[in-house]
Amino acid sequence: MLHFARFVAVRAGLAVMTLVLVSFIVFSLMELVPGDCAERYVAFKNSQGSVITPEDIQIERVRLGLDKPYIQRWGSWIINAFRGEFGDSCILRLNISQLLGQKFWLSLGLCLSALILAYIIAIPVGIIAATSKNATLNNSLRLVSYLGLALPNFLLALMIMLFSTVMYGDSLTGLFSKEFRDAAWSWARVWDFLGHAWLPVFILGWSATAFAIQTVRALMSDEVGKLYVTAAAARGVSGRQLLWRYPARHALGPIINSLGFDLNRIFNELPIVALILTLTEAGSLLIESLARSNDQQLAGAIIFMLTASIVGLNFITDVILAITDPRVRRSIMG
């Protein structure tokens, strides 16, 4: 138990270190961007008709703490970030954690559901593809996974929109119906949400599924040929039991390990899919903060939180693997 606790602690420490490094990268990139918050704010005021002098910009900089040295600002940013506090948005002048709050959890929920959907489909299908000798099945699965790679999520979203508009005259966009958009959470709203959310989940899961099927298939076909499977078959285990108890368990380890990167890939697609489907969550807020208003504070916060959830997932999968996989468990316990 002590070993296990130490293992978890070390992993958690590593995760935090990764996050610190990530925050440094994100923060530096945001700093490299020409112009800072003070200038943007003042430029905004300027457009409202008040006359702005260079002194005003300087005053605003001091107020925002932008005159302090780089490392010091990064330090305070990262400490606040770990407390979930990202300061105010440059443009909107609103507290970022309030602004993001629910929207971020919605996005994360969508992405995680897409990930789960991908593996619910991919694990059985991949196992069947690896063990079946049926050429038609294998070829059609190959085709599907090729399409998954060649038809990226945002093109798929566009195609679905085109199709549904032409066929039904409804573009199936958004996360809520009009009457529920600003309503408080209730069962009706949840129901409405689910009615809208399946499409983004499906689209986000599309290429993830194709990718996952390929991974599962490759891992399974490596394992199926091994001697322990033959030995188990010789002992009289057969059919589904043979597959689930022996090779599938081995093949699942690397998959659990790579979940974090799958989530990364889904996050990559999120903003664009969100834009097409006009989802009102963090993805579109990110685009909003980037494309329209050059809001580096907000953009940095969103990217940091996305990365944090990937690092978090990596940490969780590490721990799960240590609990479920006896080989890993043994290596930890020494």
Partner 1 sequence: MTDASTGTGNVDQKLKEAYFTASQGQLIWARFKKQKAAMVGAWVLIFLILSGLFAPFLTPYDPTISGRDKDYLNGAPQIPKFWDENGFSARPFIYTTTRERSIKTNFRWVSKTDREARRYVVMFPKGDPYKMFGMSFDRHLFGADVGYIHLFGTDSTGKDIFSRTFHAINTSMAVGTIGVLIAFVLALLIGGISGYFGGWIDSVLQMITDTVRTVPAIPLFMALAAFIPDTWSAEERFFFISIILGFIGWPTLARRVRTHLLTERNQEYVLAAQLCGASPPHIIRKHLLPSFTSYIIVDLVISFPYMVLSETALSFIGLGLKDPVNSLGVMLQNVTSADVLLNYQWYFIPVIFFITLVLAFVFVGDGLRDAADPYADTKK
Q: Which is nearer to partner 1, 133 or 240 (CB)?
A: 133
Is residue 286 within the footprint of partner 1 (CB under 8 A)?
yes
Is residue 300 within the footprint of partner 1 (CB under 8 A)?
yes
Q: Are 243 and 129 in contact (CB under 8 A)?
A: no
> Which listed residue (117, 118, 255, 302) binds partner 1 by CB under 8 A?
302
Residue 13 tokens read as 């420490």
C-alpha–C-alpha distance, residues 126 and 122, integer Å: 5
Q: Which of residues 15-74 bind partner 1 (CB under 8 A)?
A: 18, 21-22, 25-26, 29-30, 32-35
Is residue 294 within the footprint of partner 1 (CB under 8 A)?
yes
Q: Which is nearer to partner 1, 207 or 248 (CB)?
A: 207
Q: Which stretch binds partner 1 (CB under 8 A): 119-127, 165-173, 198-206, 245-253?
A: 165-173
Q: Which stretch binds partner 1 (CB under 8 A): 60-68, 100-108, 154-162, 319-327?
A: 154-162
Is residue 260 within the footprint of partner 1 (CB under 8 A)?
yes
Is residue 137 within the footprint of partner 1 (CB under 8 A)?
no
Please name which of 89, 153, 83, 120 lies closest in space to residue 308, comparing C-alpha atoms.
83
φ/ψ (deg, to 5) at 8:
-60, -40
Q: Which is nearer to partner 1, 125 or 157 (CB)?
A: 157
Is residue 154 within the footprint of partner 1 (CB under 8 A)?
yes
Residue 57 C-beta: closest distance to partner 1, Å: 18
How many chain residues are in contact with partner 1, going by CB under 8 A? 53
Q: Are 201 and 156 in contact (CB under 8 A)?
A: no
Residue 255 C-beta: closest distance to partner 1, Å: 17
Residue 272 C-beta: closest distance to partner 1, Å: 5
Q: What is the CA radius of gyration of the chain?
A: 24
Residue 95, strand partner residues: 88
CA torsion angle 163 165 170 176 (round to 10): 60
Instruction: Say which residue the tokens 């990167």 belong to.
Output: 261
Residue 100 C-beta: closest distance to partner 1, Å: 14
Q: Which is nearer to partner 1, 47 or 53 (CB)?
A: 47
Q: How many residues does the chain have?
A: 334
> Which listed residue (41, 77, 119, 267) binds partner 1 by CB under 8 A?
267
Is residue 123 within the footprint of partner 1 (CB under 8 A)?
no
Q: Which is nearer to partner 1, 275 or 319 (CB)?
A: 275
In eight-state DSSP terms, residue 291 is: I
Q: Are 140 and 295 in contact (CB under 8 A)?
A: no
Please name which of 277, 161, 275, 255 lies closest in space to residue 208, comparing C-alpha atoms.
255
Query: Count of CB atoms within 10 A of residue 92's CB?
Result: 16
In eight-state DSSP terms, residue 87 is: -
Q: Which is nearer to partner 1, 76 or 165 (CB)?
A: 165
Helix runs in the chain, H state only: 2-32, 37-47, 54-64, 70-82, 96-131, 135-150, 153-168, 187-224, 227-234, 239-245, 247-257, 259-276, 282-287, 296-324, 326-333
CA torsion angle 269 271 272 275 (round to 10): 150
> Which listed residue (271, 279, 315, 322) binds partner 1 by CB under 8 A?
271
Q: Which stretch binds partner 1 (CB under 8 A): 77-85, 100-108, 149-157, 192-200?
A: 149-157
Is residue 152 within the footprint of partner 1 (CB under 8 A)?
yes
List contacts with partner 1 (CB under 8 A). 18, 21-22, 25-26, 29-30, 32-35, 146-147, 149-152, 154-155, 158-159, 161-162, 165-166, 169, 171, 260-261, 264, 267-272, 275-276, 286-287, 290-291, 294, 296, 299-300, 302-303, 306-307, 310-311, 314
